[in-house]
Structures are given as C-alpha cells and as structure tokens.
C-alpha cells in the first residue's frame, strides 16, 4: 500500500484562506444534513507528553480521517490522516499550519454571518500564529481597514503589527486592553492566557467576538461580566464546547447563560438560529476546533497535491 506524505511547506502552497472558508462552511452544512460525523477531542497523557485525538467523516468529500497531535513543554506536533471510501489510507499531512488555517476559516464563516456588514475595524488579543490566521480570515470576509493588537509581550505585538501591515490595512500595537478594544467592531481573542483578556465593561454595542484561544475548562479569555452583555452565542460544536469551553464555566454557574440559548455553527448556517437581530447586538463565536474542519482543508490539499505532483509517495 502507498500513501502520499505532504509536508508543512507543501500544504501552504496548495490552499488559501478563501478556499478554506468555503470548504469549512460546506462541511458544517454537511453536518447539519447528517452527512458528516465529528468525534470531539480526546486526550491521554503520560509524564512529559499529551496525545490529542480527533476524528471525522464527511460523506460528500468521500473521506474519513483523524488529526492527532502531541504537546510537551517544548513543542507541539500535528498530523492528519485521510482514508478514502474503500478504507485505504491515502494521505498523511503535517498539520501545524493547516490547524491554524482551519481554525481561522471557521471564524471566517461565523464572522461573515454574525458581523455587521459594514465592519471595518478589528481588535486582536494575542500575537501568535493563531492570531494571524484569525485576522486573515476576518479580512477575507470583511473590508478591514484598521487593526489594533495587544499581547503581554511588547516585542511580539510590535512584530505582529509590522508583519501584518499591508496596503490599505493599518495595524497598530497598543499598550493596554482598553486601547485595543475601544471603538472596534470585531474582536479576536487568540491567546494562551488562563486569565480573561476581554473584559465586559469594555464591550461596545455592535461588536462581534471570535474567541478561539481556550480549549480547556480551566482557561478563559472572556471575563464572566461579558456574558450579560452578549446577545447571541454560537459555538462551532455544542458537545465539544461542553467539554472544553472554559469561557462558559463561570457564566453557566452564575446563570448568565444557558446551553438552551447557545447555537451551533450548523444551526446558524441552516436555520439562522443565533443570528444577529440588530446592529447593536453583541455576538460571540466560541470555537474549540473540530475534526470535520481538518478533513475539509486536508481534502483540498491532498487533491491539489495529486494534480500538481506535490508530496512524497510512501510505500508501507
């Protein structure tokens, strides 16, 4: 048996953000039609290393697959495996960048549905790889002109501002969370912080928030006082968020939100549940990551690699 091995740098040449956004939207529609299945992340550990495993099937694409990754104190290593409808293992992909891409793409889908159409400004909390693809996704669906970025490291936020600046887009590194949020229409929270970075008293009418940094119950990027101010909440997946959305833990305990009032991205796309009702509504998209998103982008990369002769054939 042979399979195609696709390296990180090869994958980056085979897919762009608009393609990823369209692909991710399509798999959420397939999920709504019961043509896709998603298994939330499971974790096992031994001293020094944790293994994270997700899997999914997407019938319209003709693939089933998994993403596995390990994390240690010093590194994280990501891989995706794809199998065809005959059960043959057809592709193995390095998937650090693909994970950033698909997470950004899911936020792009939500942003396109939840954000006011005339939104032009963005506040970014975090200055790492995930923050970059989050911003790229938002810029793919809205004509963004002004961006502020705040993170704990002045060096990192200034580097982010310098490298993300391009014609027509002004990116400014700022000194405080308040300066970052004030007057912005879209908020991106993409940090590794265990403590909230987005504070409720700083939220303004009409804002949309994409919160993607926390995927553990002991971490929260949004303070509990955000939630009485938020009008609509949409999750990428309700089951996954029950397991991992640390932002929701205290608000659920305090009764400021309930699961009955939280919508899934599939519901938003198909029935409009969770949509913005007025321009002044504050909306939230909470994402913890799903395997169907990984399969969506990996399928594009694999099929493009076959056509272009990219990758290494492995005989196993």
Check which CATH number belongs to the domain holding 238 and give it: 3.40.50.720
**pTM exceeds 0.85 for this model:** yes
Token look-up 């990758």 returns 311
Q: Are residues 58 and 123 in the same domain?
A: no
Q: Are residues 191 and 60 in the same domain?
A: no
Farthest-apart Cα atoms in the chain, separation: 58
Q: Are residues 172 and 271 in the same domain?
A: yes
Q: Are residues 249 and 182 in the same domain?
A: yes
Give per-residue pLDDT as tens, 232-267: 999 999 999 999 999 999 999 999 999 999 999 999
Q: Are residues 155 and 174 in the same domain?
A: yes
Q: Which domain holds residue 199?
A: 109-289
Contact status, residue 102 vs residue 297, Cβ threshold 8 Å? yes
Q: Are residues 234 and 305 in the same domain?
A: no
CA quadruple 163, 165, 167, 169: dihedral, nearest 10: 150
Q: Are residues 179 and 307 in the same domain?
A: no
Q: Are residues 80 and 123 in the same domain?
A: no
Q: Could you give phi then psi for residue 86, rounded to 5 degrees?
A: -90, 0
Q: Are residues 280 and 305 in the same domain?
A: no
Q: Are residues 154 and 267 in the same domain?
A: yes
Q: Could you give phi then psi for residue 160, rounded to 5 degrees?
A: -60, -50
Give per-residue pLDDT as tens, 83-135: 999 999 999 999 999 999 999 999 999 999 999 999 999 999 999 999 999 99
Residue 94, in any domain of the structure = yes
How far, in Å, CA of 213 to CA of 211, rounded?
6
Residue 104, in any domain of the structure = no
**b/e per residue, 22-50, with b = 16+ CB within 10 A?**
ebbbbbbbbbbeeebebbbbeeeeeeeee
Give per-residue pLDDT as tens, 182-203: 999 999 999 998 889 999 999 9
Residue 29, in any domain of the structure = yes
Q: Are residues 87 and 149 in the same domain?
A: no
Q: Based on the structure, what is the number of domains in the chain?
A: 2
Q: Are residues 188 and 43 in the same domain?
A: no
């Amino acid at each position: 048996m042979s399979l195609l091995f696709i390296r990180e740098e090869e994958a980056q040449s085979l897919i762009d953000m608009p393609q990823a956004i369209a692909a991710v939207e399509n798999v959420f529609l397939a999920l709504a039609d019961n043509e896709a299945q998603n298994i939330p992340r499971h974790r096992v550990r031994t001293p020094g290393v944790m293994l994270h495993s997700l899997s999914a099937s997407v019938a319209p694409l003709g693939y089933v697959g998994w993403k596995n990754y390990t994390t240690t104190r010093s590194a994280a290593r990501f891989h995706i495996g794809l199998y065809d409808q005959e059960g043959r293992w057809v592709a193995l992909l390095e998937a650090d960048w693909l994970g950033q891409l698909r997470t950004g793409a899911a936020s792009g889908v939500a942003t396109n549905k939840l954000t006011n159409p005339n939104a032009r400004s963005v506040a970014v909390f975090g200055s790492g790889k995930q923050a970059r693809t989050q911003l790229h996704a938002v810029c793919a669906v809205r004509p963004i002109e002004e961006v502020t970025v705040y993170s704990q490291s002045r060096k990192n936020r200034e580097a982010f501002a310098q490298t993300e600046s391009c014609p027509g887009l002004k990116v400014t590194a700022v000194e405080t969370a308040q300066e970052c949020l004030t007057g912005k229409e879209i908020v991106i929270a993409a940090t590794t912080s265990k403590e909230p970075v987005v504070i409720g008293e700083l939220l303004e009418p009409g804002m949309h928030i994409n919160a993607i940094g926390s995927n553990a119950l002991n971490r929260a990027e949004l303070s509990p006082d955000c939630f009485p101010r938020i009008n609509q909440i949409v999750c990428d997946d309700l089951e996954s968020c029950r397991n991992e959305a640390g932002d929701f833990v205290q608000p659920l305990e305090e009764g400021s939100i309930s699961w009955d009032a939280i919508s899934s991205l599939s519901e938003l796309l198909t029935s409009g549940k969770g949509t913005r009702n007025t321009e002044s509504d504050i909306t939230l998209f909470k994402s913890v990551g799903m395997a169907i998103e990984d399969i969506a982008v990996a399928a594009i990369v694999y099929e493009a690699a076959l056509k272009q002769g990219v990758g290494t054939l492995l005989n196993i």
